[in-house]
Amino acid sequence: SAVISQKPSRDICQRGTSLTIQCQVDSQVTMMFWYRQQPGQSLTLIATANQGSEATYESGFVIDKFPISRPNLTFSTLTVSNMSPEDSSIYLCSVFTSGMYTGELFFGEGSRLTVL
Amino acid sequence: GEDVEQSLFLSVREGDSSVINCTYTDSSSTYLYWYKQEPGAGLQLLTYIFSNMDMKQDQRLTVLLNKKDKHLSLRIADTQTGDSAIYFCAERSGNTPLVFGKGTRLSVIA
């Protein structure tokens, strides 16, 4: 398994501000995934972060709103920019530990954002 | 796009078996997963099954896969109050991200 640490675990933010969420993995992984879980909803993939290249965003998510960094094989950040109350969600980082897209996908504990 | 459907709620008595069902539309699914989410927590991987398997058992958990009907189930034997949580079914095919269902909230009555 993988140990995935996210910071912050929760935060309350003001409308119009930006917040950066950090994800640290205890082993080197090729791909890291960022998901959003809106209140009472399922998980939606925001983007896939590859080390050394631009993140790949899913339909409905754009880089200007959710910039992602992936400086090395164990770390990634997701920024939620110019936040509005609709961005209140749990943001989760996840990784495959067995290689790209094989087997087990593990999640961090999530970062719970409330935007006022 | 591909879809994963689950019933939203299930209530069982402590000690009984729970069966959580899931259907999916992607006929090329390769892996199917069950995750557990307790209140205020992230997702815990419970188990997963490869699409060429019919069944997988791990202690109190039994996963059944009917690939013809695109139906996946999770059976929890001797359900305990600590099993109360939301259970998510997810699938993927090839090198694609996981597609999640909306989750089934399991309530265990003591």
DSSP states of A17-31:
--EEEEEEESS--SE
Q: In the predicted model, is pLDDT for residue B53 greater than 60? A: yes
Q: For residue A108, which residues of chain B lie inside 8 Å, CB to CB? A: 42
Q: Does B48 touch chain A (CB under 8 A)?
A: yes
Q: What is the pLDDT of residues B61-84, one digit of tens each?
A: 999 999 999 999 999 999 999 999
- Closest chain A C-alpha to B54 CA, distance in angstroms: 17
Q: Does B96 touch chain A (CB under 8 A)?
A: yes
Q: What is the pLDDT of residues A60-87, one digit of tens each?
A: 999 999 999 999 999 999 999 999 999 9
- Residue A96 has what pLDDT? 81
Helices (H) and strands (E) in chain B, counts: 0, 11
Q: What is the pLDDT of residues B17-28, one digit of tens each?
A: 999 999 999 888
How much is the average pLDDT of B1-5?
84
Kindly list the distances between the CA atom of residue A95 and the CA atoms of A25, A39, A61, B5, B100, in Å, as whole numbers in the listed order. 8, 23, 19, 24, 15
Nearest to B43 among A41, A92, A100 (CB): A92
Tell me the pLDDT band of A103, cut-offs 50, 70 and 90.
Answer: low
- Residue A102 has what pLDDT? 58
Q: In the predicted model, is pLDDT for residue A99 greater than 60? A: no
How much is the average pLDDT of B44-55?
91
Residue listed under structure tokens 């925001």: A46
CA distance B77 to A65: 44
How much is the average pLDDT of A28-34?
89
Tell me the pLDDT band of A98, cut-offs 50, 70 and 90.
Answer: low
- Residue B5 has what pLDDT? 94
CA distance A93 to A35: 6
- What does the DSSP 8-state code read for residue B41? -
| Cis bond upstream, residue B39 (ω within 30) | no
Q: Does A112 touch chain B (CB under 8 A)?
A: yes
Tell me the pLDDT band of A41, cut-offs 50, 70 and 90.
Answer: confident
How much is the average pLDDT of A101-109?
78
